[in-house]
Amino acid sequence: MPSAATLRARIESSLGERLSSKLLLRERAAPLTVSMGVAALDALTGGLPRGALSEIAGPASSGRTGVMLAALAGATRRHEVCALVDASDSFDPASAVAAGMDLERLLWVRCSERADTPRRKGEASRTALGQPPRNAGFAFGGVLEQVLKVTDLLLQSGGFGMVVLDLGDIPAESARRVPLTSWFRFRRAVEPTATVLLLVEQEPCAKTCASLVVRLEREAVCARDSAPDQAQQARVPHPFREAKGWESGQNHLHIPGNSFVSHAVLLRGMRLRAEVVRSSIPSRANAVLDGDPGWTQRKLAQSAGVNFELRAAW
Amino acid sequence: MFACIYVPDFPVEAIVRAEPLLREQAVAVLEGKPPLVRVIALNEKARLLGMEVGMTKLQAAVFAVPDEKSAPNIVKPKGKSGTVVLRQRSPEQENSAHSALLDVAHAFTPRVEDAAVDTLLLDLAGLERLYGATANMARDLASRVSAVGLEANTAIAANPDAAMHAARGFSGTTVIPAGKEAQRLGVLPLPVLLDAFEIPPQTNSAADREREKLREQILDTLERWGVRDFRTLARLPDHALASRLGEAGTRLQLLARGAGMRPLALCEPPSGFEEAMDLESPVETLEPLSFILNRLLEQLCARLEARALAAQELCLRLHLEPRVADEDTTTTQELVGNSHTVGRATFERTLRLPVAMRDAKVFLKLLQLDLAAHPPGAPVIKVWITAEPAPPRSAQRGLFLPITPEAEKLEITLARISGVVGERRAGIAHRLDTHRQDSFRMERFAATPEETKQAEHPTTSDIEEQPPPLALRMFRPPWQLCVRVAEGRPVSVSSLPIQKDRGALQGKILWSAGPWRSSGDWWAENAKQGSASEDQARPWDREEWDVALANGNSNGVALYRIYRDLGSGHWFADVSYD
């Protein structure tokens, strides 16, 4: 039985010149992807697609920020100019430097409820010159409104290799209230560009506008003693083998063998699990799952997952 | 060969340059203190209506009546129709126009004589290869002067004085071939010669007053002889003229024959780029001010373009209408930001650009956004814009270099973003050299393309060898907590009520590690330099704990760093691990 592609080629050749080329359904080329900065995630997802909206979702302490910084660090290492729209002013420059980011190439926009309400179009020209400066008093504007407005401006400006919207501390209920038209508009704005638009949040909210949705979960936390008598443990090759943390699937933690306070106990890192919720990128994992590496938007019938680690910088 | 650029009715042209719509109207310029206000200059349309230089303001006001319906009692001169626009003389606008003329001339040739405020002489020797024939040069000069908003007469002749007389006597573009000076200049009236003979004018000096007296005597004598044009004067016998008028008569006759040759007194190009405009009535909103700014910026950019320069910094100065009610407020208003100065009647804003630019539209948008964020506080009656010149960017991007935002677009975007999120909340985080937590300073963002280094792509092996580090999410400002401590370690946490609007941070501590003690800046009483804020400059002394908190509301466990400020004894949460 001929494949769909062969059948289509036969029909097109038989119609020949009678079919206008504009009416032909053009096959969309697979998007270019860039590294997420984590090899396991790259193997799972194929990387972050350029000219598309991607989402990294997960609860607090699930490694979203670590992955976000790794992706941004990779982009700045490629000498791309990046922008971070920080909804809760939670970006830590020290962590970014530890991740290998070049801060000179990152435009950090710190949204805050204390900032001024965005002006509507044309309002600036009607400003009375006799009025006092606006900084004299704050008008409380919505953070999400600021985030959307700033993202619009950045995408219109163009030239950014990666634009990240960090909604990690915004409650999922609030993030879901962002109209779908906004995400659609952002997707259309980045489609003809080489910009990676990345959304970091607690729950996926861009729905079908997202080309890639990755959900992160924390599996375990590594906290080891660094005292001299624990040196044997420190030489264990795998950092989580002797971890004094949660076991996978448990939501509580205890300190085995040491019930009193010790300042020698250090948080060493986290073991995380990533699952692809939605992907339209041909990747190794998708190819195995679906048997079709083509460019088609789908929700995966069976989530693909991978484990990886984030290690403390100290 | 020498060229001359002459702007007739210069005070009028300086005003029309700032208000191009006036070019189609009759304009008269007034000067003097009341009641001695008189017309000092007018354009051709005003002359046709019957106005003259020296009229009093009252006499001029008759021509300025809009129509008979609005002022039926005033009788206009018979047979004269139309309206004359009266404007006060503006020395700043004349200076700007003169500087623009100098810019054009110096862009053409470095050998320029600043003969008068309305007259420039240029040495064209050796420029034929660059600009072509002399006729082309004359046309090129005229178009360049027109590009900066001035209508000038240009003339080219074999000597500077002949070129100057031709420019002053003939309108438009004139080219006098060598040897034909006397023939072409012969038809010019004598005042053209005597006006040029007076330059350079320095009216305050005693020598110039004597020269003015001599000029009147010579003109009176020549009129009595029946000499009214160049040709008649040129034909007078040399010796007889010298015996009657002395050295001045000989010099005048030489000029009338177009045979005077002298070296040019060269001048330097103007170092500053400033445009100014006096407003007829105070401007109260940004929209009409934008039109004025646009005009001034276009003139400024045209001048910069003439000199092949760009602007690295723009300074906007506004003269404000004094208000009795809030005079004290304006005088005591403090500096806001690094470039905002408010005085008694002057408001100043400075835009420092990351790269040199020369786009009037970009400048206008930046000034609009800046003024919208920082209104001057009173109506505006005078505007100055000064540009700090710099060599324009000369960057050629590589085909395989990563994309970067366009500098002009990025500046506007940053200004708009600042309007949304507030001042100094968008930029580059610059880390400070200190052990204090969360120490950084916000700096201006400028996307500079990488030109020297090759883009380094991280290899897969690098990624595999170095797992990404655990990241921190900061709480700014830190959440104040109520912590229950048992056996020396925290066991449960709840946010204080004042933090309730930020979300809940409460629950049982499942695991804790610590304490780690840190302190700093206790050695410096005023450690304020180099700190992001005054709050960051205070000494710190604290006890930190890493805790796993079972958050009561979200049914999840998250890792936080909490600390106890040993100075106050209060507990705070400043970081979540993510």
Q: Does B395 touch chain A (CB under 8 A)?
A: no
pLDDT of residue A1: 59
* B365: confidence class by pLDDT, cuts 50, 70, 90: very high
Q: Which of A18-32, A175-189, B364-378 has the lowest mean pLDDT?
A: A18-32
pLDDT of residue B367: 92
| Top-confidence range, A11-15, A181-185, A265-269 | A181-185
Percent of chain B with pLDDT over 90: 11
Indicate whether B205 pLDDT > 50: yes
Chain A CB contacts of B511 under 8 Å are 223, 253-255
pLDDT of residue B437: 82
| Structure-token match 């999840």, residue found | B556
* B280: confidence class by pLDDT, cuts 50, 70, 90: confident
pLDDT of residue A135: 42
Q: Work out the mean pLDDT of chain A and round it to a whole number.
A: 74
Indicate whether B377 pLDDT > 70: yes
Among residues 445-474 of chain B, which lie with CB inside 8 Å of chain A? 445, 447, 450, 453, 455-458, 460, 463-464, 467-474
Q: Which of A268-282, B118-132, B147-161 has the lowest mean pLDDT?
A: A268-282
Q: What digits encode the pLDDT tens for the residues A153-177? A: 999 988 899 999 999 888 888 888 8
Q: What digits encode the pLDDT tens for the residues B104-113? A: 999 889 999 9
Q: Do B455 and A154 touch (CB under 8 A)?
A: no
pLDDT of residue B184: 83
* B528: confidence class by pLDDT, cuts 50, 70, 90: low
Q: Do A127 and B403 touch (CB under 8 A)?
A: no
For residues B469 and A268, is the Cβ–Cβ distance under 8 A? no
Q: Do B402 and A129 touch (CB under 8 A)?
A: no
For residues B363 and B311, is the Cβ–Cβ distance under 8 A? yes
For residues A54 and A212, is the Cβ–Cβ distance under 8 A? yes
* B478: confidence class by pLDDT, cuts 50, 70, 90: confident
Q: What digits encode the pLDDT tens for the residues A226-252? A: 444 443 333 333 333 334 444 343 333
Q: Does A91 touch chain B (CB under 8 A)?
A: yes
* Mean pLDDT value across residues B64-77: 52
pLDDT of residue B207: 67
Q: Which of A13-22, B198-207, B364-373 has the lowest mean pLDDT?
A: B198-207
Cis omega (within 30 of 0) on the bond before B200? yes
Tokens of A277: 């919720």
* B315: confidence class by pLDDT, cuts 50, 70, 90: very high
Q: Does A32 touch chain B (CB under 8 A)?
A: no
Q: What digits encode the pLDDT tens for the residues A74-103? A: 999 888 999 999 998 899 999 999 888 999
Q: Does B407 touch chain A (CB under 8 A)?
A: no
Q: What digits encode the pLDDT tens for the residues A17-55? A: 666 655 556 666 677 889 888 888 888 888 899 999 999
Q: Does A294 touch chain B (CB under 8 A)?
A: no
| Top-confidence range, A1-5, A310-314, B259-263, B272-276 | B272-276
**Residue A80 amino acid letter:** E
pLDDT of residue A27: 61
Q: Which residue has the higher pLDDT, A178 or B403?
A: A178
pLDDT of residue A114: 56
Q: Does B422 touch chain A (CB under 8 A)?
A: yes
Check residue B537 and give left, alpha or beta (phi > 0: left; psi -120 to 50: alpha). Answer: alpha
Spatial separation of the C-alpha atoms in residues B369 and B314, rounded to whole Å: 14
Q: Does A194 touch chain B (CB under 8 A)?
A: yes
* A60: confidence class by pLDDT, cuts 50, 70, 90: confident
Q: Do B578 and A60 touch (CB under 8 A)?
A: yes
Q: What digits encode the pLDDT tens for the residues B565-575? A: 888 888 998 89
Query: Which whole-number Å values give the CA distances from B419 to A148, B340, B371, in the listed order?
Result: 14, 16, 11
Q: Which residue has the higher pLDDT, A42 or B68?
A: A42
Chain A CB contacts of B515 under 8 Å are 261, 263
Spatial separation of the C-alpha atoms in residues B276 and B386, rounded to whole Å: 9
How close, in Å, is residue A207 to chain B by CA atoms?
23
Q: Does B162 touch chain A (CB under 8 A)?
A: no
Q: What digits encode the pLDDT tens for the residues B85-96? A: 888 888 888 988
Spatial separation of the C-alpha atoms in residues B235 and B239, rounded to whole Å: 12
Burial class (CB in 10 A: 0-12, 13-18, 19+), A261: middle
* B65: confidence class by pLDDT, cuts 50, 70, 90: low
* Mean pLDDT value across residues B501-516: 77
3-state secondary structure chain A: CCCHHHHHHHHHHHHHHHCCHHHCCCCCCCCCEECCCCHHHHHHHCCEECCEEEEEECCCCCCHHHHHHHHHHHHHHCCCCEEEEECCCCCCHHHHHHCCCCHHHEEEEECCCCCCCCCCCCCHHHCECCCCCHHHCCCCCCHHHHHHHHHHHHHHHCCCCEEEEECCCCCHHHHHCCCHHHHHHHHHHHCCCCCEEEEEECCCCCHHHEEEEEEEEEEEEEEEECCHHHHHHHCCCCCCCCCCCCCCCCCCCCCCCCCCCCCCEEEEEEEEEEEEEEECCCCHHHHHHHCCCCCCCEEEEEEEEEEEEEECCC
Chain B CB contacts of A265 under 8 Å are 513-514
Q: Work out the mean pLDDT of chain B and round it to a whole number.
A: 80
Q: pTM (2 decimals)? A: 0.74
The CA-based angle B409-B411-B412, given to 5 degrees, is 65
Spatial separation of the C-alpha atoms in residues A210 and A288, rounded to whole Å: 22
Q: Which of A22-36, B318-332, B451-465 has the lowest mean pLDDT?
A: B451-465
